[in-house]
Amino acid sequence: MEISLTPQIKAVTNPVSADASDKYTISAEQKKFYEDHGFLVIKGLFEFDTLYNYKRRFIQICNGVVDRGNATLVKEAVLAKKGLKGEQVINKIQEVHYDDVFMTYTEHPRLLHVLAQFIGDHIRVVNSMFINKPPGSGRHPPHQDLFYFPFRPADKIIASWTAVDHVTKENGCLFVIPGSHKNNILYPHGHTKGANKLYHGILDESVYDTNQYTHLEMSPGDTVFFHPLIVHGSGPNVSQTYRKSITAHYANSSCYYIDVKDSVQQPVAEEVEAEARRRGFELSFQDTWRFKSKQVLGVRSTL
């Protein structure tokens, strides 16, 4: 069951659409909403032509028309077993922030202006994805993004997630548990029953209650910003339409790396290091993030 938000909260999560300038100034009310609830939706932050370019680029990469470069194509395992091809089976393209077209999202001036108001003026993009979510795709279980990041502080990390298509409960919209970031706890994660095998989820089901979910149905161009400790996920796509979106994670470049040995993050660190070895690289969990991140605003310092 979805939480019934009060009219006041709805007014904050669905503010007036952004204009077409290179700046979008966050109001004090919006900033407080983000601090209190761990997420903020801005309506219409990106325009149709921009979104169309991202969708076209995705199709070109799926069809082999353009080289994907260092980006990674990830297939939906269940759909791949059915013999589906191209757009019908690709779940997402990872690490798109070096692609000539997709980088116009991760480095969009209006987006960076919003990000700077949350985490400061010196920003690195640390991760990026174009997500396709074809019909028949599985759910993404409740999780916290900080699980994947060996750097801190958490308050200097933020995600942006922009709807490219209409996003509904039927095609697997995001859900969040408002205020869950305030517990300041990073929970143990792992591969959970019934979830897409590509994704980790919080192992202790007592941490979340479906009655606490707020579902984020969004129109193309709407963008949600969320804190790396907020518990969130997405449902399965039970519709006959795709659920395309583009997303990136950012950190202030003054963030520092931590040792995750003997912590709840050790399992994912071992997975990432094993994958690097499979690809012929001897990289630590921390070095993997150093290698793939990119400065997009201001100057680089620690990160």
Nearest to 244 by CA among 55, 86, 62: 55
Q: Is the pLDDT of residue 11 over 50?
A: no
pTM: 0.92
Burial class (CB in 10 A: 0-12, 13-18, 19+), 161: buried
Which pLDDT tens digit goes with each residue over 35-48?
999 999 999 999 99
User: How high is the pLDDT of residue 198?
Assistant: 62
CB within 8 A of 20, min separation 6: which ones? 47
Nearest to 139 by CA among 198, 217, 98: 198
Q: Find the Cα–Cα–Cα–Cα dihedral 291, 58, 244, 85, rounded to 10°.
A: -110
- State residue 104 phi and psi, 5-degree precision: -70, -15
Report how many domains make up the chain.
1
- What is each CA distance from 194 to 97, 122, 179, 202, 230, in whole angstroms? 31, 40, 26, 13, 22
Which pLDDT tens digit goes with each residue over 271-290?
999 988 998 889 999 999 99
Q: Is the pLDDT of residue 302 over 70?
A: yes
- State residue 176 phi and psi, 5-degree precision: -130, 160
Which pLDDT tens digit goes with each residue over 206-247?
999 999 999 999 999 999 999 999 999 999 999 999 999 999
Residue 2 lies inside a defined structural domain of this protein: no
Residue 1 lies inside a defined structural domain of this protein: no
Which pLDDT tens digit goes with each residue over 54-104?
999 999 999 889 988 888 888 887 888 888 888 888 899 999 999 999 999
Question: Rounded distance, CA 240 to CA 171, Å?
Answer: 8
CATH number, residue 67: 2.60.120.620
Residue 254 lies inside a defined structural domain of this protein: yes
Region of residue 25 (left: phi > 0; alpha: psi -120 to 50; beta: else)? beta
Strands of the chain, DSSP E: 39-42, 72-75, 90-94, 123-131, 140-143, 151-152, 157-163, 174-176, 189-190, 201-202, 214-216, 223-226, 232-234, 245-252, 256-257, 294-297
Residue 303 lies inside a defined structural domain of this protein: no
Residue span of the structural domain in which 231 resides = 7-297
Q: DSSP H helical segments within 98-227, as ranges?
A: 103-106, 109-119
Report the amino acid identity of residue 285. F
